[in-house]
Structures are given as structure tokens and as C-alpha cells.
Amino acid sequence: MIGEFFKGLFLMIWKVVTDQPDPKVEFVSVFPATIQPIISVLLSIVPIIMVFASLFALTTLLERKGLGRIQNRLGPNRVGPFGLFQPVADGLKMLTKEDIVPHSADKLIHFLAPIVLLVPTLLAYAVLPFGQNMVPIDMDAGILFFFAVGASTELSIFMAGWSSRNKYSLLGAMRAIAQMISYEIPLIISSVTVIMIAGSLSLVEIVDKQSGYHFGFLPHWNVFTPWGLAGFIIFLIASLAESNRSPFDIPEAESEIIAGHLTEYSGFKYALFFLAEYLGMFAVSGLAVTLFLGGWRAPLPFLEIVPSYIWFLLKLMGLVCLFIWIRGTLPRLRVDQLLNFAWKFMLPMSLINLFVAAIWHFTSVWNFRGAGLGRWLLCAAMIAVPYVWLGRTLIGNKKITHRTYRFAN
């Protein structure tokens, strides 16, 4: 029995490491049939929680270090070698901190809000393919599921803001909801392009559609097409807004409304919010990787020997680093500008992109000489022209000009 257990465990690990199909089967079969489904589910859930929770810890450290370096500081370097245990220290601090609930707060909702935020965020991971043969549920309507659970996080932010009975919290919650609703639309429309081209809502299938290489080295990722690139950028901007990251960190704008809906949270509840926010960011970047960057696929043919999930994580961390870089550079937008940007720029651009993707789809039947290049240039132009036009008129009636200054002697 024990021997079988270890054999099954070993086989599973071996299969995971070498990217083989159905790694769980041998291990699960060790157990009695009645508890096999539970074991199988646990085997899917536990690694997700472990991997992404440790990724969260790593990211907080990476973020502080990276921001430190951007700002010519050293960043945390006291706890452990190179400050590696800083997240542990932070976590301990959070756990041992007093949990303060405002006297007039709505206690129940104040308590529920972080949980209601965390659960859907974790649920979103159910449909992400982390590697070859590594998807918890290959759902037919995978993306729809992802967006459905993503949409329900808004309510929890409202709960947090409203239940705190703090004007700043309420302002923050209102801002958060306005922002998330506005950016959900470009987010969904830009992923619709991919769905359209792939012809499926299943994320596994979308990754499959991006297999193979042009000319033997350029992978068939969506990001290497004009609509894909534009869609990727729109998706990235919208996901920055969805995960409340700078320059869209308006709901938590420290300099304006203290910490928005987080103002009255402390201790473990605050840590839960923090965790959920980062997990949300990972999930949405994971979706971006899946939709546009070829999911777990290797960038070059000869790199395919590296396990697929490594590629997924690398791409994910790449996006996270980009987010950190942006955070270290840009100031924050204002609420009305943010909404203007969403409705007057992101939405038209994503609709145009949808149209261009359709054209891309229909021109795939072109087979004259230079058709590929022609198609590429046509689509690129169809995106670039509206981009420049929209960009120039974005400000509308407000006169934003390049100014020159007078000097008096």
C-alpha cells in the first residue's frame, strides 16, 4: 500500500515534470474509489493555492525591490538573505496585528467583504490552463466563467466600502465600481477578438490554436498579429484598471482618499484584500498570457523541452514585472479622465479591433503573392489610423497644448 502510494506519487511528479498527460491518474487510483474524486479535486486545488500564494509573496518582495531600484533605493534587505524572508515577516505582522472594526461599521458585511472578494478570485483559476494537460476544469464556456466570477468581485469592494461607514471608503468603493464596470467592457471585447478567431470559449482550445511557428521560429501567438497586438495592449490596460494597479489605482488613491475601501481594514482582513488583489492580478495576467501570448507554449521550437508551466509562469511574471515598472513610473489619472479614457478611447479602439479581427479572419483566404504581408499591413493601418485620430481628439474640448514660456529680464 505504502509502496504503491509512493510509486503513484513519484509517477505523478514525473509526469508533471515531463509534461505528460493525466498526471493525477496513477496517484489517485491508489486511494479507495469512494474518496477518489475528492483526492482528484484536492490535487488540483492545493497546488494552485500554494503556487499562487507563494507567487504572491514573491511578487510583493519583487515589487518592493524593483520599485526600490527604480527609485535608487535598495529595497527590503534585512530579513533573511537579500530580504527574501520579508514577505514572511510581513505576513506575520499582518496576522498578529489587531483587527480593528469601526464602531459604527456594519460588522457582518465588513467581515464578509474580504472573503467574498477572495473566493471568486480563486475560482477564476479553475479554467486557466497552467501548462500542457494542466487545467483544473476544461470548461466549454471557460472565458465566460472567468468573466462571470470576475464581475462578482465588484460587489465585494462595494461591501467593503459601504460597510466601513467612512466617507473615504465610500468614495473609494464608488470609484472602484465605476472603474471596474467601465473597463470590463473593453476587457471583454478585446478578448472576444481572440474567441472569434479561435472559434471557441474554451481556454484550452484557444491555447491549442496558437501552436506552431511561422518560418520555424515565430510562434503563432495572437500578439504577433495587428489585431492581437492591439487587443493585447487594450487588454493589458483594461486589466491594469481591473486589478486597480497604478496608474488606475484611483479607488485606493492614497493621496486623495487615503486608501479608499481599504481605509478601515487592518490585520488579517487587510492581508486578505491584499492577497485577493494580487491573485486577481495574476489571474487576469494569466488570462492575457493565455489569450495573446500563446499560454504555456514555448517561444521557440527548441525550447519546448522546458516544461510548459514554466513558460506560463515566466510569461506571467513578465507581465507582473511590467505592471511593477508602470507603477514605478506613472502618476495616477483622475476619475473623469479614467472614465473618459475607457469610453472614448478604449471602447472605440476595442470595437475597431474587433472589426479588424473580422477582416483578418476573412482575408485569410487570400492566396496571392505577398498576401500575408498585405493583409498584415492593411490590418495594421486600420488600427493605427484610428489610434492616432482618437489619441489626438481624446482630450476633446480641453485645450491640452505644448506650451512655451515667456521670460522677463
Crossing angle of helices 267-292 and 86-96, rounded to 10° = 140
Applying CB under 8 A, among 215, 302, 368, 405 the residue interacting with other proteins is: 405
Interaction pattern, residues 186-205, with other proteins; x per rule: CB under 8 A: -------------xxx----
Rule CB under 8 A: say whether 38 interacts with other proteins: no
Q: C-beta of 144: minimal distance to other proteins in Å?
A: 4
Rule CB under 8 A: say whether 271 interacts with other proteins: no
The residue written with cell numbers 479607488 in the block is 251
Tell which positions 339-398 bind other proteins, by CB under 8 A: 387-388, 391-392, 394-395, 398
Q: C-beta of 211: minimal distance to other proteins in Å?
A: 20
Q: Which is nearer to other proteins, 75 or 307 (CB)?
A: 75
Tell which positions 227-246 bind other proteins, by CB under 8 A: 246
Rule CB under 8 A: say whether 152 interacts with other proteins: yes
User: What b/e sequence results for 343-355 when a residue is b if at least 16 CB atoms lie within 10 Å of its CB, and e otherwise?
Assistant: ebbbbebbbbbbb
* Pick from 338, 168, 339: nearest CA to 261: 168
* Beta bridge partners of residue 214, listed in sequence order: 218
Q: C-beta of 149: minimal distance to other proteins in Å?
A: 7
Rule CB under 8 A: say whether 137 interacts with other proteins: no
Contact status, residue 127 vs residue 146, Cβ threshold 8 Å: yes
Tell which positions 106-125 bind other proteins, by CB under 8 A: 109
Length of the chain equals 409
The window from 32-40, 146-154, 355-363, 365-373 that contacts other proteins (CB under 8 A) reads 146-154
Rule CB under 8 A: say whether 103 interacts with other proteins: no
Q: C-beta of 295: minimal distance to other proteins in Å?
A: 19
* Pick from 274, 244, 252, 263: nearest CA to 150: 244
Tell which positions 155-184 bind other proteins, by CB under 8 A: 155, 158-159, 162, 167-168, 170-171, 174, 177, 181, 184
Rule CB under 8 A: say whether 37 interacts with other proteins: no
Contact status, residue 330 vs residue 324, Cβ threshold 8 Å: no
Rule CB under 8 A: say whether 102 interacts with other proteins: no
* Beta bridge partners of residue 213, listed in sequence order: 219
Cell, residue 305: 523541452
The residue written with cell numbers 491518474 in the block is 25
Using alpha carbons only, give the angle 327, 330, 335 rounded to the nearest 5 degrees: 100
Rule CB under 8 A: say whether 337 interacts with other proteins: yes
Contact status, residue 168 vs residue 263, Cβ threshold 8 Å: yes
